[in-house]
Chains A and B, each alone.
Chain A
Amino acid sequence: MKVERKNTNVQTIKEEPELIMHIEGLHKSFGDNHVLNGFNMKLYKGENLVVMGKSGSGKSVMIKCLVGLIAPDSGYISVMGKEIKDLDRPTLDDLRSDIGFLFQGSALYDSMTVRENLEFPMRRHRAKLGKGSDLDALVLEALENVGLAEAIDLMPEELSGGMKRRVALARTLILRPKIILYDEPTSGLDPITAKEIIELMRSIQKKYGTSSLIITHDVDCARVISERMILLVDGINYVEGTYEELVKSADPKVEAFFKK
């Protein structure tokens, strides 16, 4: 807590936002390819943070390190106060139930229906939602949130790209995560569908008060959704700021992102 003394003799107490994710000095290499060279990042509760970078800049590697899908070479990663590398499998799984992950290509299980896709994460984390919780009602609610209740019995192959992304978002929401990680949420979508997805992300954030980390190279997506941005260049957080601050930057590496 920070105590600020104003000119008036009244003391006001300013709450420091709660740190929910913290990365410090993250390094990751694949052979001679040094992808992350000391990346730092802080995500605060309820915040929408966008990490932008060129393709192959290590954005997806970074986000996968956050949930323990890739082991970093070195560096500190903590999520909700727990250091990832110290966690055993059951604790990591419990922590993961508080993190939703929207994969770049939706990653729906193509041998399962939409309903089964949404039920799958509840196999291990049913207790989190309460013993008496109605599975069907939860699935339906998650699908209604993304406007796809009618697709409940369809197979992923019967869905369009935008529908797949929305079902994946519903699957992400089913465990009521506190944090949602979006890996290129609009890539491969037409501009109209991309806009719909962005609107959906905003409405979800408003409804559930989740913190979001969005990895993208889509400037329009970053403009609409970001409260704060980090540019990932050469494996480090090159620059940080709001969209408005970054767009005005005279740095050629920053300018290159926003040039039309």
Chain B
Amino acid sequence: MGTTKSLTGGIKDFFLEIGELAYFAGRFFKEVLRPPFEYKELIRQCYQMGNRSLVLVLVTGFIIGLVLTLQSRPTLIEFGAESWMPNMVGISIVRELGPVITALVCAGRVASGIGAELGSMRVTEQIDAMEVSGTNPFKYLVVTRILAATLMLPLLVILGDAIALYGSALVENFKGNVSFQLYFNKVFDALDYRDLVPATIKSFFFGFAIGLVGCFKGYYSKKGTAGVGLAANTAVVFTSMLLFVIDFIAVFISDIFYDL
């Protein structure tokens, strides 16, 4: 009986949170078009987010490229399909692995950072101080961060994809004696707009989700230092879940377009 009650309570809380998140997103779309525009803060946030995640994205991307190539090589050799390596790696990185892994890295780095930062600002009354000083804190703190995450993630994905392909080319160069030029020619031959466009659009949505959830969790953080930790932690968990849901929807939609 108690378990059923707590389960229904949990489900109710989950849907309540989804509703609040949707309302928060609606408020973002309302405020983003309304002046004054906080350009300076937006640029600062873009720089901070890019700078905060760049090294991590590059290292992760490089390793993913290396590992994917190293692990796929024996199987492709076995089937005599070694020459398909650039095509396979190129398509899997550009379509799926690059955007998803970059987004997950940024969820850990950026969403938790935003959650903790805004949470601590809420707890120490800095958000109230901003409101009293005549600055709309939602516009200054939330709108700029969500926009920055939405704009920066596709750039990070492009850099992540590039370094992952470079990692893969390096393995092919060492192990298969394939020149970099040949490798990249084959990659670009294998890719077309149907690979690039959905992946890029998906990256914007990923960035939006990272900024939105990080801000939502931090902005409504409960009182106390425990609340700040919780905001950071739940921001990562919730964002990661949301990323997979967005990815599924994106793949589903792009699959429909492939069949047309």
Give the distance to chain B from A95, nearest Cβ to Cβ, in Å. 10
Which of B126, B132, B136 interacts with A101 by CB under 8 Å? B132
Write out, one digit per residue, whether chain B residues 91-120 have a CB within 8 A of any chain A CB (1) or not (0).
000000000000000000000000001001
Contact count band on A? 20 to 34
Q: Is the beta-carbon distance between B129 and A96 smaller than 8 angstroms?
A: no
- Pick the most buried of A64, A108, A109: most chain B CB atoms within 10 A of its CB: A109
Residues of chain A in range 100-144 having any CB-CB distance to chain B below 8 Å: 101, 103-105, 107-111, 120-121, 123-125
Chain A residue contacts of B189, Cβ below 8 A:
none
Contacts of B121 in A (CB 8 A): 109
Are A124 and B128 closer than 8 Å at their CB atoms?
no
Answer whether residue A62 sits at the interface, using C-beta atoms and an 8 A cutoff: no
Q: In whole Å, how far is B127's beta carbon from the nearest beta carbon of chain A?
A: 9
Q: With a 10 A CB-CB cut-off, give which of B117, B126, B128 has the most chain A CB atoms.
A: B126
Chain A residues whose CB sits within 8 angstroms of the CB of B126 once the complex forms: 107-110
Contact A103 B125 (CB under 8 A): yes
Contact of A69 with B132 at beta-carbon distance under 8 Å, contacts A103-B125, A107-B124, A109-B126 already known: yes
A212 to chain B, nearest CB (A): 16
Query: In the docked arrangement, what's the CA distance between A103 and B123, Å?
Result: 12
Cβ-defined contact, B129 with A97, below 8 A: no
Any chain A CB within 8 A of the CB of B134?
yes
A155 to B126 alpha-carbon distance, docked (Å): 15
Q: A93-B134, A124-B134 are in contact. Are A64 and B129 (CB under 8 A)?
A: no
Nearest A-chain residue to B48, judged by Cβ: A111
B123, closest chain A residue (CB): A105
Query: Is A67 on the interface with B (CB-CB < 8 A)?
Result: yes
Contact A103 B135 (CB under 8 A): no
- For B128, list chain A residues within 8 Å (CB): 64, 69, 103, 107
Measured CB to CB, the closest approach of chain B to A171, in angstroms, equals 8
Whether the pair A67, B132 counts as a contact (CB closer than 8 A) is: yes
- What's the nearest-Cβ distance from chain B to residue A119, in Å? 11
Q: With an 8 A cutoff between CB atoms, is A99 at the interface?
A: yes
Interface string of A48-84 (1 = CB under 8 A from B): 0000000000000000100101000000000000000
Interface residues of A (CB under 8 A from B): 64, 67, 69, 89, 93-94, 96-97, 99, 101, 103-105, 107-111, 120-121, 123-125
Apart from A104-B125, A105-B125, A111-B117: 10 A-B pairs, beta carbons within 8 A: A64-B128, A69-B132, A97-B134, A99-B132, A109-B126, A109-B130, A110-B124, A120-B130, A121-B134, A123-B135
User: What are 20 contact pairs spanning A and B, CB under 8 A?
Assistant: A64-B128, A69-B128, A69-B131, A69-B132, A94-B134, A96-B132, A96-B133, A96-B134, A99-B132, A101-B129, A103-B125, A103-B129, A104-B125, A105-B125, A107-B124, A109-B121, A110-B120, A110-B124, A120-B135, A125-B134
